[in-house]
Structure 1
Amino acid sequence: MKAVIMAGGEGSRLRPLTCNRPKPMVPIANKPVMEHIIELLKKYGIRDIAVTLQYMPEKIKDYFDDGSEYGVNLRYFTEDVPLGTAGSVKNAEEFLDETFIVISGDALTDINLEEVLDFHKKNSSIATLVLKKVECPIEYGVVVTDSGGKVRRFLEKPSWGEVFSDTVNTGIYVLSPEVLKYFEKGVVFDFSKDLFPILLEKQEPMFGFVTKDYWCDIGDLDAYVGVHTDILDKKVNININAMEVRQGVWVSEGAVISRQAEIKPPVLIGKNSVIKDGSVLGRFTVIGEECHIGEGSTTKKSIMWDGCVLKNNVQLRGSVLCSRVKCREKTSAFEGTVIGENCILGENSLIKPGIKIWPEKHIDIGTEVCTNLVWGSRYSKNLFGSRGISGEINVDITPEFASRLAAAYGAVCKKGASLAVSCDEADALKMIKNACISGVLSSGAEAFDVGTSLLPVTRSAIRYYKLTGGMHISGGNKKGKVIIDILDELGRNISRSAERKIENCYIREDFARCEADEIKAVTNVTDHNVFYIRSIINNTIAKNYDLKIALIAPSGAFKNIVTSILNELGCRYELVNTRDNHNKRKSLFSELKTLSQVVRYGGFDIGVFFANSYDKIFLVDTKGRIIADDLYMALISYIHLRSKDGNKVIVPLNASSVIEKMAGENKERVLRTKTSTKELMSRMLNNEYDKDMLDFFAMNFDPIEAFIRIIDYMVFSNISLADIVDLIPDFHIIKKEVKCSWSEKGKVIRTIIEENSDSVETIEGVKVVGDKGWVLVLPDAEKPVCKVIGEGLTQEFAHELTDIFVDKVKSISQNRGT
């Protein structure tokens, strides 16, 4: 006995499931539906199988090959143009030299083929149609048989007025080879519409076998979800590649499930998937292979294909996720949603019920998706964010991505460019660094491998070796997060115009790779730390640093550099242990609280916490006060203004107005600029910058040098940190965020400007200035929110002023008629 699997289906009604694969390759219970059909045929001893192909034939050939891995022999017959069900089988006529079974490769069934074959032989039938009673027959071919099973009448996809039976054609046939002689090869011919009416007219023995076994035509998305429900409810007898570890819970090989995860059967968990603490897998959840379910994430009646990642606190309700979908923290997708392959759902995004998203889409943070997304590629606005390029390791930031990005950067640089490449101390970051070096070399640029170093060290190396620019890869504040800083010739993060050039080059791949003989050897910068440390020490002016310092430096590289400098300056220091009894890091709040108590009661002159290699440091004075954010900006501005006559400071719009007060009569020494890091760096280190402004740049963007400059000023001026902070006038700043859709941001700013035209500044956003304070309304560049920042003479007035404009933003953005 031979068989024909009809596997040419495109599956247009299943899109976006079938955007990148033919319908027979859509997974059912973690294997292609066609694989279930092959297993069914093999179960009844049918191993010689013809497969008719038309849509994406190579996908099926590549997966099943010759069938030997599945214990069968497969022969493929490909149509150049669709020939109909019978026309496609006609292509395999030479192979079909005996009675054969025709079965669809995109329906699921556990039909007893032995009973069908016995019925066919018993009735000496030329064609036996397998029939099934269904509740809604209008989507199928309706068939009427007599009491002996002989076909008397049928109608393909009738209207309700034409329905004369609830027995429908399943598309499974047992045929004698002679039926293929009723039509010519290469013509469009269908079994139900063309061949069977001919056989009926000629009164050939054609019978219908009504099966009570399971059969489901996976014709649309509802049927696709429903067939999984039936499998988990054990309504169909198929082979699941998993062990039923308890009633209704199937777990495949290599899966890792936390004891703190909650599993509500029935559930299927695929190979090597990881289910983390606090996650909840609700009823009728199907998880593919190599999936990762983060802490606090919950699913119910949802299907995930292979390689899906749910970060923490994701909600899935009645959703289908195709392969390699990444859901960031706190994303939600609801009933009837389908997310295509390789989509990324940004943090806090919401997919409304019934929405379909086609493959390769990137949904922005906080976005509500209310309409189907079909066209376009990315739904994020830029490759670059507020600081460099960030993403998940091996999710957004892969070696392939990093190499292509570095090649794009090298390509936009002038010929003969030289670029530094470095990373923080972590194996995953070294992998990305090496990929960046390969990309730089492929563009024809020279790569300087600074190795594992800190971002400030790399900035210094670029200036020292007079390089064209550089790239530094660091770990973000969250586990698995990666940030790539792209730097210019002065060690600054590149400008927005330079980012656009790289983005355009990257997206279009509009750059040439160099010839093989133009690839340069990598220049290894063995240890720039030595020069970096020496340059900081050489810039100090004080003597006899009799200071006792409490120090928190989680990074080993930070600790080594800082302690080397403090040792040479003659400072006494103690490393503060902030780990709990289980040797885990505490929260930032707990660490700062611990540091504050240690400094206040331990006889220290100052405490310092280096959170990472790029954020401003946290300082603690002898009164236990934590100096950070706005107060830190005021502190370094005070020190720089008093370190040398004529020194200027460049501060963002949202910095406190007390900085002008500290400048006294020479208010022109305070220059205001936009709030972005790039803008601050660009203004501080322009082409005519001097050493004093480089010092202020370091106090803003180099935590180590900033700390040394602060204690150097303390010792040289014989003043404590607490006394400096006391000299800074009191100020009160309140910061809030208000939800505001992208489309409403422009209207919000325009309306506020119109209402306050006599007292506004529009350097960035809109800043409304009054006698008792100011408020800045600033549209966020990466999220659908507006920031509202207010400063007042008192804490109460600052709150009141900020709340007024929070309400104003809400009112304007929600009044769509304006």
Structure 2
Amino acid sequence: MKAVIMAGGEGSRLRPLTCNRPKPMVPIANKPVMEHIIELLKKYGIKDIAVTLQYMPEKIKDYFGDGREYGVSLKYFTEDVPLGTAGSVKNAEDFLDETFIVISGDALTDINLQEALEFHKKNRSVATLVLKKVECPTEYGVVVTAPDGKIRRFLEKPSWGEVFSDTVNTGIYVLSPEVLKYFEKGVVFDFSKDLFPILLKKEEPMYGFVTQDYWCDIGDLDAYVGVHTDILDKKVNININAREIRQGVWASEGAVISKEAVIKPPVLIGKNSVVKDGSILGRYSVIGEECHIGEGSTTKRSVLWNSCILKNNVELRGSVLCSGVKCREKTAAFEGTVVGENCILGENSLIKPGIKIWPEKHIDMGTEVCTNIVWGSRYSKNLFGSRGISGEVNVDITPEFASRMAAAYGAVCKKGSGLAISCEEVDALKMVKNACVSGVLSTGTEAYDLGTSLLPVTRSAIRYYNLSGGIHISEGNKKGKIIIDILDNKGRNISRNEERKIENCYIREDFARCQAEEIKAVINVPDHKVFYIRSILNHTISEIHDLKIALIAPSGDLKNIVTAVLNELKCRYEFVNTKEAHDKQKSLFSDLKTISQVVRRGGFDVGVYFANSYDKIFLIDTKGRIIADDLYMALISYIHLKSKAGNKVIVPLNASTVIEKMAGDNKERVIRTKTSAKELMNRILDDEFDENMLDFFAMNFDPIEAFIRIIDYMAISGTSLAKIVDSIPDFHIIKKEVKCSWSAKGKVIRAIIEENSNSVETIEGVKVVGDKGWVLVLPDAEKPVCKVIGEGYTQEFAHELTDIFVDKVKTISQNKIT
């Protein structure tokens, strides 16, 4: 039996741990993680090992040599350029003349390889994937198997709405050599994205072996610290080259521990390290080799690599110190801090929580470090939420943050790109906008400064000037909160893949800044709203809009644009006065009630409440009915379907099925997509750009243009809004939320799919279709809840269906993973 260790990982998310070494050489319990993998293979008699290399290959070769010192034989295969997981193994094809194991060199595991091999042979499989049930599957490749283990489906790094199982791919495979014949040498090819789907399509025998043993993908800094906790808690069976001198205290050869030191287990102390009088090694401390812990110094939940020196009275809490770090007297570093190799922390310096310091830095005496020592801003793991980036001004979103975020966006754009930048009419937002302009310019990207603008106007400007994208800053729902929308070349909010690129670039902090002579002048675009207004008017069809309209609008800019358009259309209109309330929910309810009464009593044809300046709109008909949310989606779908023969509508999975009814016999005119606004934007304005779909995009995401298109349709058809709404068939949708921990979400969806296997749709979450209607169970991406949305043929059926699945989610989520 032979094996392949994939050791080409760069480990960018682990920086600064990986600044000076490849990921497989990052130490776990005082030895490189790859050494633990070699010991595991040797334990099961696998000694002929190929090692695939790409990033810093000499570091690995110099350490392990030919493998003789470790009781194995190592043969190295180096990629000049990254070839993907399968492409790298293909390089070793001549070496792999029998069934072999592929295992990652940068994950920690103690799995029983013999059991996996026997499972492979028993099923006569060409490819056996070792699988593991995990609590949070969104960072892994999810695998769905039949009861006999045969693989049915793959999904790489799903969103919560795509989580169909809690069983994930560990990246450990048992393979027959013939699988390498399916692709050519030297091409970029991945096991999970490319090879396994081919084998699945060709119905080759491919199985998943679910291990109960320990496995941890050390993908980020939290996982790196967490794996040491698991080792000290004896959750993983590995050799740590130390003797347990008393319960929970492991010390390696040559370690010197003062009798006056306090050791609180579990603790690991490396070879030849010295722990001085009065020092305290708190729980889950891991001390490397040749370290020196001075008098009065304390550590807790911290990992020190080799040759670290803590002078007297140093305090470490939840920190990682790379090799050769020197902490002078009274230094302190707190939760989540990472200090790169050979740094010197000056006397009385303080490293705030979450700070990363790159290698070879010298922190002066008495310095309080509250920004990363690279470009000068704090670490943030996830920038984007369900809609753009949100936070509090000068707390979460500072000028420094905005500048670096914008620079990260500029860095991922193609050379010569131009980005529109705008904000609403608020001084704090102007500050953030100016910082974004500076960040974009610093990467050599052109900045088109639109000044103060509304989001729909900025979307329009991006298309009008043929730009690569844009950044718009607007007020959030709470005082002091702001939202930054990052837009692509069609004015859509960028996709999750593009968000990840920006996040990775931002977190790594190593993107290139341009030379001084490459910085472009700012291009000022002071009043695009003139073109925006003209574009709306040019798309109206009716020549006469004899309508009386009642309006509520939140901002001066929005009022000015709406007024300009309605004046051109010769409409009569009045703005309704409202009472300002501190509670926005109460204010919304009160304002809607007010405008509803005004429309009914004042002889108005229609009322409109622009709840914000980006996408939320409420319409009121002559009966005082409020058209919003599901009914609004049905309304705009009705108008778009009726406006032109052959028009298609793209609606989210949770929209009512009455939309298909309205399409009549041509149900293919209704296309379903995932529920997020980003997915809807992406599908409406896909690569096959259609002018008619731009109209439907505006009706979904531009409240001003949407309203004008609706009243234009009313004028063309000579029909009141009330009659249009009456034409829409009745429907009954109930929406609820039920608490569901992050760890239970995958289990919930898997269980519902298994229970309803013949009547489910899995575009997103799981949609169960039955005789009484349908129910969608959708894990929330930002909160520990599941959304349960049900539509019934009657209101009673809708309540009944929704309640049944609320109870199911509660029951499944409260049981342990099985």
Could you say which TM-score interval applies, normalised by the shorter chain?
A: 0.5 to 0.7
CA 1:817–1:405: 2 relative to 1, 3 Å: closer
**Shift of residue 220 of structure 1?**
10
Structural mapping, 1:464-613, within 5 Å:
464-579=464-579, 587-613=587-613
Deviations 1:349-391 (A, max 9, x none): xxxxxxxx992399xxxxxxxxxxxxxx999873211111111
**Shift of residue 744 of structure 1?**
0.8
Q: Give the residue type in structure 1 aligned to 2:439.
A: G
Corresponding position of 1:687:
687
Is 2:610–2:618's contact at 8 Å kept on the other side of the alignment?
yes
**Shift of residue 817 of structure 1?**
4.7
Distance in 1 (CA, whole Å) between partners of 2:567 and 2:574 is: 12
CA 1:735–1:586: 2 relative to 1, 3 Å: closer
**Shift of residue 602 of structure 1?**
1.1
Corresponding position of 2:354:
360
CA 1:581–1:435: 2 relative to 1, 3 Å: closer
Is 1:609–1:619's contact at 8 Å kept on the other side of the alignment?
yes
**Shift of residue 510 of structure 1?**
2.5
CA 1:587–1:361: 2 relative to 1, 3 Å: farther
Corresponding position of 1:795:
795
Distance in 2 (CA, whole Å) between partners of 1:610 and 1:675 is: 22
TM-score between both structures, scaled by the size of structure 1: 0.55
Find the residue that maps to 1:587 and give its secondary structure: helix
Q: Give the residue type in structure 2 aligned to 1:748.
A: V
Deviations 1:695-726 (A, max 9, x none): 00000000000000000000110000010111
Find the residue that maps to 2:474 and give its secondary structure: strand
Distance in 1 (CA, whole Å) between partners of 2:476 and 2:787 is: 23
Is 1:578–1:586's contact at 8 Å kept on the other side of the alignment?
no
Q: Give the residue type in structure 1 aligned to 2:712.
A: D
CA 1:603–1:440: 2 relative to 1, 3 Å: same
Structural mapping, 1:351-500, within 5 Å:
359-360=353-354, 382-500=382-500
Corresponding position of 2:625:
625
Q: Give the residue type in structure 2 aligned to 1:360.
A: G
Find the residue that maps to 1:558 and give its secondary structure: helix
Is 2:419–2:468's contact at 8 Å kept on the other side of the alignment?
yes
Distance in 1 (CA, whole Å) between partners of 2:721 and 2:551 is: 15
Q: Give the residue type in structure 2 aligned to 1:596.
A: S
**Shift of residue 643 of structure 1?**
0.3
**Shift of residue 772 of structure 1?**
1.9
Corresponding position of 2:637:
637
**Shift of residue 581 of structure 1?**
10
**Shift of residue 473 of structure 1?**
0.5
Gaps of 5+ in 1: 1-155, 160-187, 192-217, 222-320, 323-338, 344-356, 363-376
Deviations 1:759-805 (A, max 9, x none): 00000000000122000000111111111000001111101100100
Find the residue that maps to 2:743 and give its secondary structure: helix
Find the residue that maps to 1:607 and give its secondary structure: strand
Q: Give the residue type in structure 1 aligned to 2:671.
A: L
**Shift of residue 428 of structure 1?**
0.3
Superposition RMSD in Å: 3.3
Q: Give the residue type in structure 2 aligned to 1:758.
A: N
| Greater alpha carbon shift after TM alignment, 581-590 vs 676-685 | 581-590
**Shift of residue 340 of structure 1?**
6.2
Is 2:747–2:817's contact at 8 Å kept on the other side of the alignment?
no
Is 2:421–2:450's contact at 8 Å kept on the other side of the alignment?
yes
Find the residue that maps to 2:403 and give its secondary structure: helix
Distance in 2 (CA, whole Å) between partners of 1:765 and 1:389 is: 24
Distance in 1 (CA, whole Å) between partners of 2:493 and 2:634 is: 23
Distance in 1 (CA, whole Å) between partners of 2:639 and 2:447 is: 38
Deviations 1:508-539 (A, max 9, x none): 01310000000000000021000000000010
**Shift of residue 676 of structure 1?**
1.0
CA 1:716–1:190: 2 relative to 1, 3 Å: closer
Deviations 1:54-79 (A, max 9, x none): xxxxxxxxxxxxxxxxxxxxxxxxxx
Q: Give the residue type in structure 2 aligned to 1:642.
A: K
Is 1:641–1:647's contact at 8 Å kept on the other side of the alignment?
yes
CA 1:516–1:769: 2 relative to 1, 3 Å: same
Matched-pair identity in %: 79
Q: Give the residue type in structure 1 aligned to 2:532.
A: Y
Q: Give the residue type in structure 1 aligned to 2:733.
A: I
Q: Give the residue type in structure 1 aligned to 2:537.
A: I
Is 2:422–2:433's contact at 8 Å kept on the other side of the alignment?
yes
Q: Give the residue type in structure 1 aligned to 2:538.
A: N
CA 1:479–1:583: 2 relative to 1, 3 Å: closer
Q: Give the residue type in structure 2 aligned to 1:612.
A: N
CA 1:721–1:381: 2 relative to 1, 3 Å: farther
Q: Give the residue type in structure 2 aligned to 1:657.
A: T
**Shift of residue 579 of structure 1?**
1.7
**Shift of residue 157 of structure 1?**
8.3
CA 1:625–1:439: 2 relative to 1, 3 Å: same
Corresponding position of 2:646:
646
CA 1:501–1:732: 2 relative to 1, 3 Å: same
**Shift of residue 503 of structure 1?**
0.7
Q: Give the residue type in structure 2 aligned to 1:813.
A: S
**Shift of residue 341 of structure 1?**
8.1
CA 1:586–1:779: 2 relative to 1, 3 Å: closer
**Shift of residue 577 of structure 1?**
0.5
Corresponding position of 2:771:
771
Q: Give the residue type in structure 2 aligned to 1:661.
A: K
CA 1:548–1:624: 2 relative to 1, 3 Å: same
Find the residue that maps to 2:777 and give its secondary structure: strand
Find the residue that maps to 2:463 and give its secondary structure: helix
Deviations 1:115-172 (A, max 9, x none): xxxxxxxxxxxxxxxxxxxxxxxxxxxxxxxxxxxxxxxxx9899xxxxxxxxxxxxx
Distance in 2 (CA, whole Å) between partners of 1:781 and 1:583 is: 26
Runs of 4+ in 1 over 3 A off after TM superposition: 156-159, 188-191, 218-221, 339-343, 377-381, 580-586
Q: Give the residue type in structure 2 aligned to 1:484.
A: I
CA 1:523–1:669: 2 relative to 1, 3 Å: same
Corresponding position of 1:745:
745
The structure with more radius of gyration: 1
Distance in 2 (CA, whole Å) between partners of 1:722 and 1:784 is: 40
Distance in 1 (CA, whole Å) between partners of 2:739 and 2:686 is: 36
**Shift of residue 219 of structure 1?**
11
CA 1:401–1:650: 2 relative to 1, 3 Å: same
**Shift of residue 688 of structure 1?**
1.4
Find the residue that maps to 2:421 and give its secondary structure: strand
Is 1:580–1:586's contact at 8 Å kept on the other side of the alignment?
no
Deviations 1:478-502 (A, max 9, x none): 1111111111111111111111111
CA 1:758–1:582: 2 relative to 1, 3 Å: closer
Deviations 1:285-327 (A, max 9, x none): xxxxxxxxxxxxxxxxxxxxxxxxxxxxxxxxxxxx99xxxxx
**Shift of residue 583 of structure 1?**
14
Is 1:578–1:585's contact at 8 Å kept on the other side of the alignment?
no
Relative contact order higher in (CA < 8 Å, ≥ 6 apart): 2
Is 2:381–2:507's contact at 8 Å kept on the other side of the alignment?
no
Distance in 1 (CA, whole Å) between partners of 2:814 and 2:737 is: 15
Distance in 2 (CA, whole Å) between partners of 1:418 and 1:580 is: 40
Distance in 1 (CA, whole Å) between partners of 2:261 and 2:514 is: 64
CA 1:610–1:676: 2 relative to 1, 3 Å: same
CA 1:762–1:380: 2 relative to 1, 3 Å: farther
Find the residue that maps to 1:514 and give its secondary structure: coil
CA 1:617–1:220: 2 relative to 1, 3 Å: same
CA 1:730–1:361: 2 relative to 1, 3 Å: farther
Structural mapping, 1:89-108, within 5 Å:
none
Is 1:579–1:586's contact at 8 Å kept on the other side of the alignment?
no
Q: Give the residue type in structure 1 aligned to 2:498.
A: A
Question: Do structure 1's residue 668 and structure 2's residue 662 form an aligned pair?
Answer: no
Distance in 2 (CA, whole Å) between partners of 1:189 and 1:739 is: 49
